[in-house]
Structure 1
Amino acid sequence: MIPAAFAYARPTTVEEALRVIAEGGDDVKVLAGGQSLIPVMRLRLAAPELVVDLTRVEELRGVREEGDQLVVGAMTTHADVLSDPLLAQYAQLVVQATETVADRQVRRRGTFGGALAHADPAGDLPAVALALDAEFVVAGPAGRRTVPASEFFVDYLTTALEEGELLVEIRLPKLSAADGWGTRYEKFNRVAQAWSIVAVAAAVRREGGRITEARIGLTNMGPTPLRAGATEAALVGVDVSLETVTAAAAQAAEGTSPSNDLNAQADYRQHLAQVLTRRALAAAAGL
């Protein structure tokens, strides 16, 4: 189908983009990679009066170091995430999840920030950001503010972004193998390149034969990404073994509210969460 008629703006700076959005009225959509927006516009499920295309805002691209954090520009494509040496060294969990996003063509156009701002609970990156305690830097008419991942995802397809604001960068902690961190992203889908039915993002820090920290994000186990808090707590201070990992993973679905749909029933998703958490933790812990 063909989208409804719309006005089009292509700013080159964040300030220009914010100004255009502010002047655009009540029905403005921001175009990042377009992999989610364009299909719904073609189906006329969205018919904005103005589309603001961010593809020429170069300051929103790239990855850099700032102290103990990595800063990823919101318009950095998935393909650039996969080829970036800093992310390969310090954010393997991001790389592993990004490798599973859709297909090669989508990864060339789709963007890191666009996927996070879209906030689809079946998307691969929101649960990773939550597990890593990422920080989201948002620019708006009143300046810039930082939103922790735990507060960014509000509801289904809904974030803490307010009217007239843009996600400009994502700050990630450095987690390296040299510091004892291991990571794994486990995803279950019915066909290749499809959305996750359930997925698990796990990061485990070991000292000697014990686990000192665990971070686990769950994909598609509720209207927003979730942390497997009970499993995280059960792992801290325990010896690294398949038995301890299995026992902790059995608690992964606690506090979740997965949906019933054509792909899976809620109880099946809860079972998958336990199985995938065990697999992800075992791999992250080096078992």
Structure 2
Amino acid sequence: MIPAAFDYYRPKDMAGVLSLLEEHGDDARVMAGGHSLIPMMKLRMADVPHLIDLQDVGGLSGIEVTSDRIKIGALVTQANLIDHAGLADAAPILREAALQIADPQVRYMGTVGGNIANGDPANDMPGLMQCLDATLTVVGPNGTRDVSARDFYEGAFVTDREDDEVLTSASFPLPKGGHAYEKQKRKIGDYATAAAAVQIVKEGGKCTFASIAMTNLSDTPVFSEDACAALVGTSVDDGAIKAAVKAMLGDIDPTEDNRGPVAFKNHVAGIILSRAIERAWSRA
């Protein structure tokens, strides 16, 4: 559990970060909270000759809540999401999800940006950001660009972010209606066997809007347009929920691992999604 030798950098601004990335190329990695990267380095599953820590870079730790939009800096921790009163009122699904991530020790150091940018299909924030239709902002040598969270993930640990770019924030429209983040895991602190993020808007007893994404059931988080469409226009009765689950099961592609065989994961996914839809509908 001892990492290979590496050089450690703690630049004071983004210009310094980008300069180091340009200088060291593929040998450099950026670290936000470090709860994914450091264990991989200690197990020597990741070779990082040059480690760039973002903790001293200003402007990455803010939470902005306006009348129609929320912006979260990359260095905001899961604990910050839990403790921020305005955010809990404006987007309670964030707090609900953050409380289910690992344990307090991890949540005090683990960051939103690291959770999003790492590209781990087991992480909670990627699917949640897809459910919220978030825009992810990255900065690199060619300037700043925005990427939809629904287009950001290309494969396990593979994203649209280039090696010389840094994710700086995530922003999304102010959520409306009811919400739920439901997660099944083998033990406290574990990654999900399956997790579902759901947002539902109810008008006149009918669902007028739905957003559904699931975690750790494919090489990427899965936002299912068909599952959303199965709920819209219905009273979210048993038939509509079953149709949404069927649509999601058609979009995911789980693999057998130490969390169970494929049939079990599909079964768990259906139960977790049904619970999330029912809870979101009850809050809408």
Aligned length: 283
TM-score (norm: length of structure 1) = 0.94
TM-score (norm: length of structure 2) = 0.95
Cα distance in 1 for partners of 2:244, 2:111 equals: 34
**Deviations, residues 143-186 of structure 1 (Å, cap 9, x unaligned):** 0000001111110011111121000010121014xxxx100011
State the shift of 1:67 in Å: 5.7
Cα distance in 2 for partners of 1:228, 1:146 equals: 22
Question: Which residue, 198, 201, 205 being the options, matches 2:201?
Answer: 205
Q: Are the counterparts in 2 of residues 17 and 52 from structure 1 also a CA contact under 8 Å?
A: yes
State the shift of 1:250 in Å: 3.7
The match for 1:238 is: 234
User: Which aligned segments of 4 or more residues in structure 1 are displaced greater than 4 angstroms?
Assistant: none
The match for 1:135 is: 135
State the shift of 1:65 in Å: 3.2
Give the secondary-structure state (helix, strand or coil) at the position aligned to 1:72: strand
Correspondence 1:10 to 2:10: yes
State the shift of 1:87 in Å: 2.0
Q: Are the counterparts in 2 of residues 131 and 216 from structure 1 also a CA contact under 8 Å?
A: yes
Q: Which amino acid aligns with 2:5?
A: A
- Structure 2 regions of 5+ residues with no counterpart? none
Question: Which residue, 241, 263, 268 being the options, matches 2:264?
Answer: 268
Considering only aligned residues, what root-mean-square deviation do their CA atoms show, in Å?
A: 1.5
State the shift of 1:249 in Å: 2.8
Give the secondary-structure state (helix, strand or coil) at the position aligned to 2:200: strand
Cα distance in 2 for partners of 1:143, 1:150 equals: 22
Q: Which amino acid aligns with 2:79?
A: A
Question: Which residue, 168, 182, 188 being the options, matches 2:184?
Answer: 188
Correspondence 1:33 to 2:33: yes
Question: Residues 1-287 of structure 1 correspond to what in structure 2 (within 5 A)?
Answer: 1-65=1-65, 68-176=68-176, 181-286=177-282
Give the secondary-structure state (helix, strand or coil) at the position aligned to 1:206: strand
**Deviations, residues 171-208 of structure 1 (Å, cap 9, x unaligned):** 121014xxxx1000111111111000111111101112
Cα distance in 1 for partners of 2:185, 2:26 equals: 37
Cα distance in 1 for partners of 2:23, 2:243 equals: 55
Give the secondary-structure state (helix, strand or coil) at the position aligned to 1:252: helix
Q: Are the counterparts in 2 of residues 251 and 274 from structure 1 also a CA contact under 8 Å?
A: no
State the shift of 1:260 in Å: 0.8
Give the secondary-structure state (helix, strand or coil) at the position aligned to 2:59: helix
Cα distance in 1 for partners of 2:146, 2:239 equals: 40
